[in-house]
Structure 1
Amino acid sequence: MSTFSALNAVTTALWAQRRGLDVTGQNIANVNTEGYSRQRVDLRAIGGSVVPAFYSTSPGIGQGVSAENVIRIRDAFLEGRGHSEHANVSRLTVETDAYELVEQAFREPGSTGLQSLMSDMWSGWQDVAVNPRDSAARGQVLKRLETLVGGLHFSSASLDAQWKETRENLEVLVKDVNATAATVADLNRAIKLAAQSGLPANDLSDKRDLLVMKLADQIGATVRPGEHGVVDVVVGGMALVAGATSSEFALVGALGPGGVAADKPRIVTASGGFTVQPGGTAAGQLNAMNAIIPDHLAALDAIAVDLSTTLNTAHQSGYDLAGNPGGPLLGSAAGPVTAASITVMVTDPNLVAASSIGPGTASLDNGNADKIAQLRSDPAGTDATYRRMIVELGVQSAVSKRNLDIQSVITTQVDAARESVAGVNIDEEMTNMLSFQHAYAAAGRMVTAIDETLDVLINRTGLVGR
C-alpha cells in the first residue's frame, strides 16, 4: 500500500467512526421513543484487489473500512412470539372483563342480588302462613314478588346492554383495523421504494412494526416477511395486508343477543364475505357475544321460567280468601316467559291462594302458603339451581382471571426479551460512543502521521547531500 493509499484508508476510517457516532447519538435521542429499534453501523473491511494488473499487485492489506449500511437490531422469532402473546393477553383481558360485568349484573353476593330477593320472597310466604288473616302480609308478599321480578328485569337488561356495547366496540375496532391495515400497506410501499433506491428505511420500519403489534393486540395479526423489507399481515389465514395492498374486514351477524343462535356475530372479509378467525381483542369480544353473555342470559331466562312454573303450580293448588282456586302468579304479557318479560299476574291481596281448603269455602287455612314457603329448601328448586349457576359463574371468572395473570407474566417476559434485543441501553451506547470517539481520534492522528511522513518525503529528501 502506498502512502497516498493509506490516506484514503484513514479517510474511510474517519467517515466510518463519525457515522458510528451519528448512529449512537440517534439511539440515545430515541431511548424513550415507543417502538424504536436500536441501530448499528455495519462496519466491513475493504479488502485489496485480488485481480493482478500489469506491473502491480495488491499487498493484501486492504483499502480501509466501509460503513454504508445502518441495520436495525431485531429478533424475528421474538417479534413473532410477541405478536402471539400480546394477542392472547388481549383476548383474555376482554373475556375476564366480560365475566366481571356478568357478575355485576347478578349483584352477588349482596342485598340487591337475586338470591337475597328470592329469600325475601320466600320469607314473605312464611309471614302469610303465620298470619293468613293479615291483609298486609298478603300484600307484602306480592310486593316482594314484584321486587324479585324487577331484579330479574334489571339483570336481563344489564346483560343485554353489555352485549350491545360489546358489539358496538367490536364494530369500531374493525374500522380501526381497516384504517391501520391501509397505513401498513402505505408504509410497505415506501419501504420497498427506499430499499430499491438504496435509501435507509429504518424509521419507517419501526412505525410499521408498531402498527403491526397494534393489529396483533386488536385482531391477532401475524406477519410473513417478503422482499425489500416488505411484510404481509395475516389474520386467521386471511391476508389483511399483502405488500402495498390492504384488504378490509367487516362485522356481520345478529344485532341483539336474541339472534345469536341463528346468526352469530362474526368477522368476514369485506370482499367475498369469507369468515375470519381472529385473535386478540376481537376474539375475546366475539366469545363474549357468542358464548359468555348469551349462556348466562339463557341461564337467567331458565331461572325465570323455573320460578314461574314452580310458583304457578303451587299457587294454583291452593285457594284464596273467597275459596276460589288460585290463578297463575307469574306470566308474560306477550310471548314466552323470560327474565325480561316475566310479570306478576296477581295484584289483589285477597286473591293470594294461601289456603289448602276448598273449593267454594272461604277459609283462613295457611296450608298452601306454608307449602310455598318450604319450596326454598327444595334441593332441585329454583334457589338451588340459581346458586349452582352463580357458583359456576364464579369459577369461570376465577379461571379466566388466573389465566390472564399467567399470560400477563409470559407476555412481560417476552417483552423483556424483545427489549433486551431491540431496546436502547444507555450504558451500552455510552460505551459505543467512547469507542467510536477514540477510534476517530486515532484515525485523525494517523492522518497527521502520514502528513508528516509525506512532508519529509517531499520537502526534505535530497537535502542531506548538499
Structure 2
Amino acid sequence: MTSTFFGLETAKRGMNTQQNALFVTGQNISNANTLGYTRQRINFEATSPYPHGGMSRPQIPGQMGTGVKAGSIQRVRDSFLDQQYRGENSKLGYWSTRSDALSKMEDILNEPSDSGLSAAMNQFWQSLQDLSTGPENDGARAVVLQRGQAVAETFNYLSNSIKDNQQYIGNELDVSITDINSILKQIGEINQQISKVEPSGYLPNDLYDERDRLVDQLSNYFNVQVEPKSSGGNSSPIAEGVYDIKITDSNGNDYYLVKGSNYGNMGITGGTGSSGNFPPADGVTSLNITDADNNSQNVNFFDNGQVNIGQGKLRGLIESYGYKDNSGNSKGIYPEMLDQLDQLAYTFGTVFNQVHQKGYGKNGETGNDFFDLSSLSDYHGAAGAIKINSSLSKDMIAASTALKSPTESETGNGSNAINLGNVLSFDLSKGTITLEGFSTPTTITVSGSGTITSNYQAIIGKLGVDAQQANRLTANSQSLTQSVDQNRQSVSSVSLDEEMINMIKFQQAYNASARNITIVDEMLDKIINGLGTGGR
C-alpha cells in the first residue's frame, strides 16, 4: 500500500525539475551572443520506482513511478564536427597567411605597371636607343645617366621593401609564438580546474566552452590532435575529462604540448647569422619545443626542402619569412624572391658593365663601369647595393665603338649604345656574346639561361601563379571552414526560437505538476475532513 501523501512528492519533484529546466533555458537565452558558448540541456531521468524488489515488498499490482529528477546539465556539442572544423581551420590559417604574404609581394613589384622595374628598364632601353642616333647630344647622354640611376634605385627600392615586409612577417611570427605559448598555458590551467570539479560528479560546462574556444584558436596555427583523458574520482559518465594536445612531425613522432595541467612551450631557433636575435636574420632552422613533460629539444621540421609540419598559420609564416633546409639552403617566399632579384640585378649590372667597358666615351675614355658593384663578392645583396658609378660623367658614357682620335670618340658613332640597349635581350645561355659595330671581333662572357627580360618575366609569372593558387585555396578553405562551422553552430549555438518553445513547454509542465498538487490536496481534504461524518 502506498502512502496517502505519495502523489505530493511526485508532483513536487516534477515542479523542481521543470523549474531547473527553466533555469537552464534562461542561461541559454542570456548567453545567446556569448562567443564560444555552447547551448545546454537538462537530462531528465525517472526516479527509482516504488517499491524496490524484495521479499518484504508490499503487495500491489506493480511498481509505481515516483517522479522525475535532473540527471545532468550537458552541453549539446558534436566532437566530430569540432575535429572537422579544426582541420579546416588549420588549412585556412596556412593558405590565408601565404596569400597575404604573396599579395604584399605583388604590391611591391607592382607588375605590370608604369612604375615597376620593367617600366624603368624599358625607359632605360629607350634612352639608349635615342643615344645611339645622337651620341654627341649632351641631353641624350644626361637622360641615359638619369634612366640608369632610376633602374638602380628601382632595384634598391624593391630589395629594401621586400626586406621590410619580411621583417614584418618575422615580427608576426614572434607574436604568434607568444600567442601559442599563452594558449597552451591557459589550456593547462583550465584542465587543472576541470580535474578538480569533475571528480565531484559535476559537469563544468563553462570551462569546457572556454577550453574548446582556445583549442579552436590553436588549430589556426597548426593541426592539433586532442586526446580526452578521464579526471578519475566520481566523474560523470558523460564528463569530457582533461585534454592532452599534441602535434606530430613528418616521421610520426608525437610532441605533447599539453598533458592534463602540465603544458609546454614553443620557440624558434635561428641560423648561424641570427646572433640570438628574433626573428632570426639567417632564417628559421628548427622549432624549439619544451613538451608537457619538460623535455626540451630542437625539432627539425625542415626535411626535403620544405616545412614538414601540419598546415597552419605557423607553417605559413615560416615559409613566408624564410627557413634553412637540411643542406643549409635558404628557402621561403621572401628569401627566394630576394635571391632571384639579386641574381637579376647582378647579371644585369655585370653584363652591362662588360659592354660599357668595350666602348668609348665622348672624351675618348674606355674601360669604365657604368654600374658600381664593387662592394659585392658575389651576387648576394646585389639588388640592394647596385648604383651608378659615382665617377661616371655623361661624357664618359661609352656610346661609341671607335676612336676618331686618341682623345676623342668617332663623331656620330653610336654603335655601342645599341649594344648596351641589347643587353636585356642577350641570350645568356650562349656563354659568349659578339658585340656589333667594332672593327675587330669583340666578345663578352655571360652565363645563365634565357635573357634578362625573360628571367624577370619568369619571376613575375611564377609570383602571379603562386598568388593565384594561394587566393584560390584560401577561398576554398574559407568556404569549407564556414560550412563546417555552420553545421557546428546548427548543433551547438543557441536558437532563441527553440528556447522560447522550451520555455513554454517547461512552464506548462511546471503548471501541470502544480495542478497535480492541487488535486492531491483536494483528495486529502476529502479524506481528512469529509469522511467519518456520517454519524454526526
1:284 matches 2:316: yes
Cross-structure match for 1:347: 392
1:200 CA drift (Å): 3.7
Larger deviation, residues 53-62 vs 412-421: 53-62
Larger deviation, residues 328-337 vs 396-405: 328-337
| Counterpart Cα distance in 1 of 2:208 and 2:23 | 19
Larger deviation, residues 289-298 vs 440-449: 289-298
Larger deviation, residues 84-93 vs 437-446: 84-93
| Counterpart Cα distance in 1 of 2:500 and 2:94 | 40
Residues 354 and 368 in structure 1, CA contact (< 8 A), matched pair in contact too: yes
Cross-structure match for 1:399: 469
Cross-structure match for 2:336: 295
Residues 265 and 286 in structure 1, CA contact (< 8 A), matched pair in contact too: no
| Counterpart Cα distance in 2 of 1:190 and 1:210 | 16
Moved over 6 A (4+): 259-262
Counterpart pick for 1:205 among 204, 208, 216 = 208
Cross-structure match for 1:268: 288
Secondary structure at the counterpart of residue 172 of structure 2: helix
| Counterpart Cα distance in 2 of 1:437 and 1:2 | 28
Residues 24 and 432 in structure 1, CA contact (< 8 A), matched pair in contact too: yes
Cross-structure match for 2:444: none
Residues 270 and 281 in structure 2, CA contact (< 8 A), matched pair in contact too: no
Cross-structure match for 1:444: 514
Secondary structure at the counterpart of residue 12 of structure 2: helix
Cα separation, partners in 2 of 1:368 and 1:199, compared to 1, 3 Å: same
Secondary structure at the counterpart of residue 109 of structure 1: coil
1:70-81 map, 5 Å: 70-81=73-84
Tell me, which stretches of 5 or more residues in structure 1 are unaligned?
none
Letter in 2 for 1:18: Q
Secondary structure at the counterpart of residue 257 of structure 2: strand
Secondary structure at the counterpart of residue 128 of structure 1: helix
Letter in 2 for 1:372: L
| Counterpart Cα distance in 2 of 1:339 and 1:260 | 21
| Counterpart Cα distance in 1 of 2:182 and 2:266 | 10
| Counterpart Cα distance in 1 of 2:173 and 2:287 | 9
Secondary structure at the counterpart of residue 40 of structure 1: strand
1:275 CA drift (Å): 4.3
1:460 CA drift (Å): 2.3
Cross-structure match for 2:527: 457
Residues 78 and 418 in structure 1, CA contact (< 8 A), matched pair in contact too: yes
Residues 94 and 314 in structure 2, CA contact (< 8 A), matched pair in contact too: yes
Secondary structure at the counterpart of residue 42 of structure 1: strand
Tell me, which stretches of 5 or more residues in structure 2 are unaligned?
232-240, 249-253, 291-295, 302-308, 323-331, 428-449
Deviations 1:50-74 (A, max 9, x none): 4214152572222211203100011
| Counterpart Cα distance in 1 of 2:280 and 2:107 | 22
1:87 matches 2:90: yes
Deviations 1:405-435 (A, max 9, x none): 1111101101100100100001111111111
Secondary structure at the counterpart of residue 44 of structure 2: strand
1:378 CA drift (Å): 4.8
Residues 333 and 341 in structure 1, CA contact (< 8 A), matched pair in contact too: no
Secondary structure at the counterpart of residue 401 of structure 2: coil
Cross-structure match for 1:374: 422
Cross-structure match for 2:53: 51
Deviations 1:147-193 (A, max 9, x none): 11111111111111111221111111111211221111111111111
Superposition CA RMSD, Å: 2.3
Larger deviation, residues 409-418 vs 177-186: 177-186
| Counterpart Cα distance in 1 of 2:287 and 2:167 | 16
TM-score (norm 2): 0.82
1:357 matches 2:382: no
1:2-401 map, 5 Å: 2-48=3-49, 49-56=51-58, 59-228=62-231, 229-236=241-248, 237-254=254-271, 264-270=284-290, 271-275=296-300, 277=309, 279-290=311-322, 291-335=332-376, 336-337=378-379, 338-345=382-389, 347-358=392-403, 360=406, 362-364=409-411, 365-378=413-426, 380-401=450-471
Residues 359 and 416 in structure 2, CA contact (< 8 A), matched pair in contact too: yes
Secondary structure at the counterpart of residue 359 of structure 2: coil
Q: Which has the higher helix share?
A: 1
| Counterpart Cα distance in 2 of 1:328 and 1:436 | 91
Cα separation, partners in 2 of 1:55 and 1:184, compared to 1, 3 Å: closer
Identity %: 29
1:222 CA drift (Å): 3.4
1:362 CA drift (Å): 2.8
Higher relative contact order (CA 8 A, sep 6+): 1
Residues 340 and 459 in structure 2, CA contact (< 8 A), matched pair in contact too: yes
Residues 355 and 367 in structure 1, CA contact (< 8 A), matched pair in contact too: yes
Letter in 1 for 2:452: T
1:383 CA drift (Å): 1.6
